[in-house]
Structure 1
């Protein structure tokens, strides 16, 4: 079994660095283009199942990549619920709360690191009952959380696994050590022009 983790394409808030949890933003025109650029790569992976976050940006990415017809909504793939920090930038939050780190502190009115970790573990337990290559259309911070928990790290270590828009990552199991989960590929970009204004959150 292998997991193909795809972060959604560019949105207006990925450009500005605003935390986007439950806000329903669609892709930018560039986000649509980079999502379509995923299609040839995904066709090489012999994907057997497709799960997608209920958020619009993830669903649009899935559609543009050519896998929409085969997809099923998976609520546990949703992005971190940012609570009162929804729509805000980390730099602005830290002016009010110096030293704030979402991976350690969570968000007031939103999800705690413990709840995100539990959600990732719950999803992993279900994924481990599946066969073949499962495509997961998700988000930047939850995707990083999922990868950290996949290889047994504490959730806080997810901060070291940034994901770019419309990137492909592969999570697998070592064939020689079946109790050892691995990151096979991380943050692969397809050949495409870079947005001149693109920024990481």
Structure 2
């Protein structure tokens, strides 16, 4: 990462750690499933390496942390930052819980596995011509791709308002989103201005962090980091 890249505002995508439902492949939307012990270790390990003063995700450079209201996301936020950092961020009004980051509403698919959803849809006479694709078809009695798009676009507008005056980090303007697997991948598509059904395969394991930013310090050129390098420490 060059000096110039380091000065461009970033959006960090922090997926919550593992839960028992995530471990078994169950679609988890509104259900309040807590992190399991391994999930807590995942987030703590990520925090140790990536989060802190002069690290990749430096709390002093944050303009806002947006968090899903689900308990697994709230717990992930608590584990990512130390108590002093959390107190300062809250005192400065930079911690916001928002339904815009709630996981995709799975409707009647809540708690089911992918194979079970496909079997259910077959029983209901669906998908005769094409197999189910959540990015195109959404979820029965849950959210459509258009509904998820609308709330994410609204959140992106909020982020632009924070970052557009600070495209060379004139003020702390990095943003962290603490949320869920499907939702954060959906966010990445909308950040890059792709429709939900755009065939962009992405991986974001539990407890991991992805990074979005801008090309050439330009609010009109949203981008993502394909790879990261790290600046040498000041001592070197």
TM-score w.r.t. length of structure 2? 0.74
Secondary structure of the structure 1 residue equivalent to 2:12: strand
Match of 1:51 among 61, 66, 86: 66
Which residue of the partner structure matches residue 129 of structure 1?
A: 161
Map 1:89-104 → 2, pairs under 5 A? 89-97=113-121, 98=127, 99-104=131-136
Q: CA RMSD in A?
A: 1.7
Secondary structure of the structure 2 residue equivalent to 1:57: helix
Which residue of the partner structure matches residue 108 of structure 2?
A: 84
Q: Quick one: structure 1 residues 66 and 96, their matched pair in 2 at CA, closer, same or farther if it must change by over 3 Å? A: same
Work out the number of aligned pairs and report it.
186
Secondary structure of the structure 2 residue equivalent to 1:107: coil
Offset at residue 80 of structure 1 (A): 0.2
Q: Is the 8 A contact 2:18 2:36 kept in 1?
A: yes
> Does 2:151 match 1:113?
no
Give unpaired runs (5+ residues) of structure 1: 187-201
Which residue of the partner structure matches residue 31 of structure 2?
A: 23
> Does 2:15 match 1:2?
no
TM-score w.r.t. length of structure 1? 0.86
Structure 1 stretches (4+) deviating beyond 4 angstroms? none
Specify which structure has the higher proportion of strand: 1
Q: Quick one: structure 1 residues 158 and 9, their matched pair in 2 at CA, closer, same or farther if it must change by over 3 Å? A: farther
Q: Is the 8 A contact 2:215 2:222 kept in 1?
A: yes
Matches of 1:119 and 1:18, distance apart in 2: 24
Which residue of the partner structure matches residue 63 of structure 1?
A: 78
Offset at residue 96 of structure 1 (A): 2.9
Q: Quick one: structure 1 residues 185 and 27, their matched pair in 2 at CA, closer, same or farther if it must change by over 3 Å? A: farther
Asked which structure has the greater CA Rg, the reply is 2
Which residue of the partner structure matches residue 138 of structure 1?
A: 179
Give unpaired runs (5+ residues) of structure 2: 1-8, 90-94, 122-126, 164-172, 228-236
Offset at residue 38 of structure 1 (A): 2.1
Offset at residue 93 of structure 1 (A): 1.2
Q: Is the 8 A contact 1:169 1:185 kept in 2?
A: no
Which residue of the partner structure matches residue 197 of structure 1?
A: none
